[in-house]
Amino acid sequence: MNNPLELVGCQKISGSISTFTANPNEKAMEYLIILMIMFVAACLQGISGFGSGLIAVPLLVLWLPLSTLTPLLSVVNLAMALYLGWLLRHAIAWRQWPWLLGCGVLGSLAGQYLLAAINLQLLQQIMAGGVILVALLFWFNLRWQSNGAAWQQILAGTIGGFSNGALTLGGPPVVLFLTSYGLARVSFRATLTLFFLLLALTNVIGFSWQQRYQLEQWPILFCLLAGAVSGSWLGHRISSRLSESLFRKLSLVIVMIAGVVAFWGAF
């Protein structure tokens, strides 16, 4: 799942969700809207293996402050990755990607630390521009063939994890690496799901350690989880009907959109 959410990971929760109205009927409608936004975002994640944050974050911040949204979506991302991981369990080959997974976790922790320490605006622009350029090259079949060597996994995992923690671009670097390796659709989605599961688990543990979860957030979390599970289920069903060619094109389009969004957000 696929994750732009960690960009605000260093902020603190302000307490209750004051963005919500006190009117019961209007509050119920807001809960429904949040559920539907998460449903659509999770459907995209279920289809491609990443990209839910492109839809979820820009829309959900209209109702929830980022300091509240970030920890909650980390729980949702973990639940979504667990669910998709179970559906794709037959295709998960974690022994094949030890360096990718391990360096992803370490890179994410480093990215979160540097996010609080330095200004990464220029680096975000460079990273986003690089992602867009590589995705365009892949679109026109101008690509290199990866053999999945340890140094390639270390590079992709570190960049992907760091981007996840600091630059809101966690998915695209890993997507491009796996695309160059030539994984089939199901294995591609399973590997991405495992990668984001570990990152989400790292984030949830970190937020729990910081005591960032509060009882009054449970209704919001329930709506997000309901939308995430149902959307992931539908996306998984849709993905099985896509051809390999259409799936790869969809993945590259999502990567390019993520790069554009990150580049624009750096200004």
DSSP assignment of 4-30 equals: GGGGGTTS---SS-TTS-S-HHHHHHH
The model's pTM: 0.76
Q: Which amino acid does the sequence have at 122?
A: L
Q: Can you tell me the distance from the alpha carbon of 169 to that of 51, in angstroms, rounded to the nearest whole number? A: 10
What distance in Å separates the CA atoms of residue 3 and residue 142, rounded to the nearest whole number? 27
Structure tokens at 267: 């200004």
Tell me the C-alpha distance between 248 and 175, whole Å. Answer: 10
267 residues of the chain, pLDDT tens digit each: 444 433 333 333 334 444 555 677 788 899 999 999 999 999 988 998 888 877 888 788 888 887 788 789 889 989 999 999 999 999 998 899 999 999 999 988 887 777 666 666 777 778 788 888 888 888 887 777 888 899 999 999 998 888 777 665 677 889 889 988 988 888 999 999 999 999 889 888 888 887 888 888 899 999 999 999 999 999 999 998 888 888 888 888 888 888 887 778 666
Asked if residue 169 lies in contact with residue 131, where contact means CB atoms within 8 angstroms, the answer is yes
Amino acid making up residue 77:
N
Of the candidates 92, 126, 120, 101, the residue with the CA atom closest to the CA atom of residue 8: 120
Query: Would you say 8 and 56 are in contact if contact means Cβ atoms under 8 Å apart?
Result: no
Is residue 64 within 8 Å of 19, Cβ to Cβ? yes
Residue type, 110: A
DSSP letters for 148-159: --HHHHHHHHHH
